[in-house]
Structure 1
Amino acid sequence: MLALVAILTLITTGDLDQLIWIALLAVAGIPAVLAPHHRVLAPLGRFAEVVIVGFAASQVADEASLGGMGAAAILPYLSVPLTVAALQRRSREGVALLAVTTASLAVGGFLSGNSADEPFGHLGQLGYLAVSVQWLVLAALGLYAAGTLQRIWQARGESRPQPYAEATRLLTQLRSVARQLPGATLDPGSISEHLLEELRVLVRADRAAVLSVSGGGRLVVLAQVGVDRVDWETTLDADSAIADAWASQQPQTAPRSQARSHSGGDVSALVVPLVAGVRTVGLVTLEADAANAYPAPVVARVTALTRPAALRLEAALLFDEVRSLATNEERQRLAREIHDGVAQELVMVGYGIDNAMATLPEDATETAGELRTLRGEVTRVITELRLSLFELRSEVDRHGGLAAAMAEYARTVGASGGLRVHLSLDESTARLPAATEAELLRIAQEAITNARKHAGASNLWVTCAVDPPFAQIEVSDDGQGIADQRPDGRYGLAIMAERAERIRGRLEIRPRHPSGTTVAVVVGTTPRRDNVRDSVTASEGE
């Protein structure tokens, strides 16, 4: 600003001597540069600047052919002290600076040569007065605008909480909302089943399902209803109404079935996206064995019902994801602490026993035997810890699936326990919801661990059949059965029951003939599989 007013002063007056005012302004601005937040020096510097501007404006106006033009050359510098005062939230100082500026301009104009003969009557004096008033008004408006802008910045800064404070606030709200929800549930499966029940009351639907996104560009079936087992089209890159509805966020009707297992005939299909805000969180697929079953009025009624359901489903999915992330993080933390703490200390104990055995005299046979027994027990505990670490770190891979995770765990545990493992895996390309897969894996791990630790078995049979939304897991052994289970084994059975209930599954623990135990968990219903099994049984009977 100093450079600007210097150039304007030279253009207006053509007198180098007038640059003395610019030099004085530079000196007056030194405190504001060196100590901008000093409580005394910085304000004094700003008051000195406006006083110099007031007197300089009148003197420069004397040297110009028109007083107003000369005053306008140096008055723009008023923006510097006034803006600084406003940005530092010194509103009273800003008003005082304006008052001092007005007084300086008046005194300077009175003492100038323009007012010597005919005060306020000369043309130059009128121009000087008009320009002075104009710049004072602009300075006052600028002072107000700068103060308003500073208040807005301050309000935005105060309304932007720290990340952890914001997270705490949101989680607290989530806890409160979860307690107040109807039925106190944030389970995606339950919400989806309730939505399908409402839709079947409203419109005809011989088959219906709620689908949600999963890994690998596929959809998972959260819930479905119908007289037959349905194999839905779950790929988002296929040429189907499901893929079109997901991409366009608009309801889609189709004269063909969206179920790959449907046998044919007259079918009407309706796919309605569940959109929460701008994000598609799921799809509702309805099918009726009739032509033109979903005209525009029916589509409008379905859309009106699914619109609020989208928000409920999104809340449930988000809560499920947060809970899954927190659980996985806690499992990883526990695994790290066990590995870096107890496991390492037990290894050092084992090394200490080995060193003690190496330094024993040859005639200390009894002591050596006790140390060998102790060393074997330490080795056993270390093996148990390593298996526990493997169980904590085991997760269902996004691409590998539930069957692969179960097979890896069964082989590892079977090898460490001397068990012969028999695997029967039947998994479709469609996936279960991530939370369901995780719970099924934990149930299978608990059953396999119980068989290894408590059953005294030689063989382990693991069966995994997944055909979403149906899944069946069976773990059998040929051990001593469950009659003499230890307390920790019974505790493991209780944990499995809780996990099965969480995913609305059915847990069954029964004796295996001729010996051993079978732990089975079933999720969903599978009339198609039952019909096939019944037909095969009938054929064998014939």
Structure 2
Amino acid sequence: MGTTHSARRTWRITTAVRVFAIALVLGRALSAGGVGRVAVLILVLGLIASMASLVEGVGADGLQRWVPVVESLLVGAVVAADPARDEAILLYLAVPPLVAGIRHGWLLATNAFLVSAAAVLVGSRLSSDPPSIDVLQSVGFWLVTGLGIGVLAGVQTRSIRTLEQSQAPYVATHQLMSQLHDLASRGEVGLDSVKLSTELVGRLRDGTGAVDVAVYGHAWGPPLVQLAGHGDTTSLSSHAVGTNHPRVHDVLVVGLRGAGHQLGSVVLRRPGGWNADSRAIAQTVADEFALRLDTAVLFDEVRRLATAEERKRIAREMHDGVAQELVALGYLVDEIASVSDEAETLALADTMRQEISRVVAEIRYSILDLRHHVAEHRLSGALADYVHQVTQDMDLRVNLVLDESGPALPPRTESELLRVAQEAIGNVRKHANADNLWVTLVSDGSTLLLEVEDDGVGNAQPKDRHWGLQSMHERAAGIEASLDVTSRDGGGTIVRLQSPPLTAATKELA
């Protein structure tokens, strides 16, 4: 987009140069009172200039590079054909080298100069009335003038083009982001891949009568990513990846074609099989959603990268700023304790030191939360590693049940699940005073369940100016899941996040 804008601007400049030169030729001819005898030549120059501008405006890039050379040849022939060698006509010799320099650089400006000079000399040799020395000097003056200005313009525009080429990706990105911002602010485009995928599943079920539907993304490469699903989708992933198996009459695979690449596919199971009408409906709905979903997936990835970078920045600021200042404050408390013999002062200093140590430890846990992330679609691995790091210094028995037998989840869903687990486990560590911690993750293609359970003091209720429970509910809603915080029989708390359960009808059909 940036390159197109630059080309149009250059075309406008060179067209203006030609128009100005033709106007100058006409003006000088009128002032000399001899326009009648060169009117035909001025008309020919006008036609040459018009054709050159037209080809430069709409012609292919390879063709455009020949325009200044051909224009130089034709202008040289016109000058040589002028029996009067009118000064007004001669000045147009400067135009082709100048235009060549502006559009293509100094080398093509030099070539245009040489072609014009050769055309004038050859034409003059063939003429029955060779030009005088004065005319040749005028010819040389205008050719050299065009060459000089063309070379200077070529050097200058080259630096401008180099700068524009380096900025072109950012210019194009800025334009696209501006359009995206305008659409999003007006509410005309959905940028949530989870909601779009869920909406696609609903539309396909309503339109085709399919009972099992799964939307798979291929954009991240292996493993296959399930963006959304309904019903028993466990066996559908093999159809999405094209595994060799007998063709099933009740299963339909519809491709999702994104912007120039295969975004993914939708696999549907319909009792009784598929006819031409139901296949056409499925394809129409998938085509309707494909580009929107592709844009949302790309936006999710941009948002994920930006969020990860911001989390790292905040973690660095916390480590290098607040944490270091608290450590320095601890040294100050130690110094106060070392210069005082009063029991009350020593007791207060000890209390302050313990509190500072607690806050520093919390900051370090927060830094761990900010930096910890899911790598290569290994949510269970990231979760197990986090639990180990958080609980290694605690007298807490940990029980992990991790089942990721289904297709990989979208990166955003994995990230939100990890953040919910971090918040829930952090609450257990800080407030529960528990002996046992149970962490369960099940993602088998039809069920998504995250459960954090403890046997502590319970009573996990929202507190003023504490947003942990609210943020967990918001994260769950963002991935089309529900979150419940309930008391555990025998004491403690259960935090359960799960995808919408199967309907009774679906269970019977499955």
Q: Same fold (TM over 0.5)?
A: yes
Q: Which residue of 1 aligns with 2:435?
A: 458
Please identify, of 418-427 and 442-451, the stretch whose mean Cα deviation from structure 2 is larger: 418-427
What is aligned with 1:169?
Answer: 175
2:73 matched to which residue of 1? Answer: none
- Shift of the 237–225 alpha-carbon distance from structure 1 to 2, 3 Å rule, reads closer
| Residue 266 (structure 2) pairs with residue 284 (structure 1) | yes
Q: Does 1:449 align with 2:449?
A: no
Q: Which has the higher contact order (CA 8 A, sep 6+)?
A: 2
The answer for the alignment partner of 2:252 in structure 1 is: 270
Q: Is the 8 A contact 1:221 1:469 kept in 2?
A: no
- For 1:215-294, list aligned pairs within 5 A: 215=220, 217-226=222-231, 228-233=232-237, 239-240=243-244, 256-257=247-248, 267-290=249-272, 293-294=274-275
Query: How far apart, in 2, do the equivalents of 1:474 and 1:372 lie?
Result: 39
Q: Give 1:471's aligned residue.
A: 448
Of 466, 473, 492, 2:468 maps to 492
Alpha-carbon spacing, 1:282–1:339, altered in 2? closer, same or farther (3 Å): same
Structure 2: how far apart are the matches of 1:283 and 1:156? 42
1:126 maps onto 2:128 in alignment: yes
SS of alignment partner, residue 272 of structure 1: strand
Q: Which has the larger radius of gyration?
A: 1
| Residue 424 (structure 1) aligned with residue 415 (structure 2) | no
Alignment partners' CA distance in 1, 2:360 and 2:238: 45
Corresponding residue pairs, total: 394
Retained in 2: the 8 A contact 1:424–1:463? yes
Amino acid across the alignment from 2:497: V
Match of 1:178 among 161, 173, 184: 184
Q: Find the aligned partners of 2:332 and 2:238 in 1 and give their Cα distance.
A: 58
Amino acid in structure 2 at the alignment position of 1:440: L
How far apart, CA to CA, are the structure 1 residues paired with 2:387 and 2:126?
101
Return the letter of the residue paired with 1:457. Answer: A
State the one-letter code of the partner of 1:256.
R
**1:177 maps to amino acid:** L
**Conserved? CA contact 2:94–2:146, under 8 Å:** no
* Partner Cα distance (1:429, 1:304) in 2: 28
Is 2:366 aligned against 1:388?
Answer: yes
CA contact (8 A) 1:479 1:517 kept: yes
Q: Which stretches in structure 2 are left out of the alignment for 5+ residues?
A: 1-79, 81-90, 104-108
Contact 2:219 2:263 in 1 (8 A): no
Paired with 2:222 and 2:405, the residues of 1 have a C-alpha distance of 15
Partner of 2:312: 332
Match of 1:435 among 412, 416, 423: 412
Report the CA distance shift for 1:215/1:303 in structure 2 as closer, same or farther (over 3 A). closer
Q: Secondary structure at the match of 1:282?
A: strand
Do 2:315 and 2:370's aligned partners in 1 also have CA atoms closer than 8 Å? yes
Q: Secondary structure at the match of 1:194?
A: helix
Q: Cα distance 1:189–1:420, how it changes in 2: closer, same or farther (>3 A)?
A: same
Q: Tell me if the contact between 1:229 and 1:527 (Cα under 8 Å) persists in the aligned partners.
A: no
Q: In the alignment, residue 363 of structure 2 is paired with which amino acid?
A: L
SS at match of 2:434: coil
User: Retained in 2: the 8 A contact 1:187–1:316?
Assistant: yes
Answer yes or no: is 1:517 the counterpart of 2:493: yes
In structure 2, distance between residues paired with 1:457 and 1:488: 24
Residues in 1 aligned to 2:186 and 2:198: alpha-carbon distance in whole angstroms:
20
Take 2:331 and 2:303, find their aligned partners in 1: how far apart are those partners? 41
- 2:203 is matched with which residue? 198
Residue 347 of structure 1, CA deviation: 1.8
* Counterpart for residue 349 of structure 2: 371
Q: 1:352 to 1:531 in 2, by over 3 A?
A: same
The alpha-carbon distance between structure 1 residues 198 and 124, as it changes in their structure 2 partners (threshold 3 A), is closer
Give the Å deviation of 1:444: 1.1
Deviation string for 1:421-480 (max 9, x for gaps)?
222222215211111111111111111111222223232221111223531111122222
Taking a change above 3 Å as real, the CA distance of residues 155 and 411 of structure 1, as seen in their structure-2 partners, is: closer
Q: Structure 1 pair 521/201, CA: closer, same or farther in 2 (3 Å)?
A: closer
AA in 1 matched with 2:428? A
Write the mapping of 1:520-535 to structure 2, written as runs, cut at 5 A. 520-526=496-502
Tell me if structure 1 keeps the 8 A contact 2:240–2:267: no
Partner of 2:37: none
**Can you list the C-alpha shifts for 1:220-240, whole angstroms capped at 9, x where unaligned?**
2222234x4533325987634
Decide whether aligned partners of structure 1 residues 499 and 397 sit closer, same or farther in structure 2, where only a CA change above 3 A counts.
same
Q: Structure 1 pair 346/155, CA: closer, same or farther in 2 (3 Å)?
A: closer
SS at match of 1:189: helix
The CA deviation at 1:125 is 6.5
1:212 aligns with 2:217: yes
Contact 2:436 2:454 in 1 (8 A): yes
SS at match of 1:487: coil
- Which residue of structure 2 aligns with residue 411 of structure 1? 388
Q: Which runs of 5+ in 1 are unaligned?
A: 1-67, 69-77, 110-122, 242-254, 258-266, 533-542
TM-aligned CA distance change 1:422 to 1:80, over 3 Å = farther
What is the match of residue 298 of structure 2? Answer: 318
Question: Contact 1:219/1:234 (CA < 8 Å) preserved in 2?
Answer: no
Q: 1:412 to 1:488 in 2, by over 3 A?
A: farther
Q: Are the equivalent residues in 1 in contact too, given 2:460–2:485 (CA < 8 A)? A: no
Q: Distance in 2 between matches of 1:285 and 1:237?
A: 10
**Which digits, 9 at most, give the CA deviation of each residue in 1:69-105, with x for residues without a partner?**
xxxxxxxxx9997766446669xxx9xxx9xx99xx9
- Of 474, 478, 485 in structure 2, the residue corresponding to residue 502 of structure 1 is 478
* % identical aligned pairs: 36
- Whole-angstrom distance in 2 between the partners of 1:129 and 1:392: 83
Q: For residues 281 and 364 of structure 1, do their structure 2 counterparts lie closer, same or farther at Cα, with a shift above 3 Å needed?
A: same
- In the alignment, does 2:194 pair up with 1:189? yes
- Structure 1 contact 454–486 (Cα < 8 Å) conserved: no
Query: In the TM superposition, what whole-angstrom CA distance separates every residue of 1:118-158 from its partner, at most 9, and x where no partner exists?
Result: xxxxx98728469x99x97xx99x979x79x9799899789
Give the letter aligned to residue 333 of structure 1: R
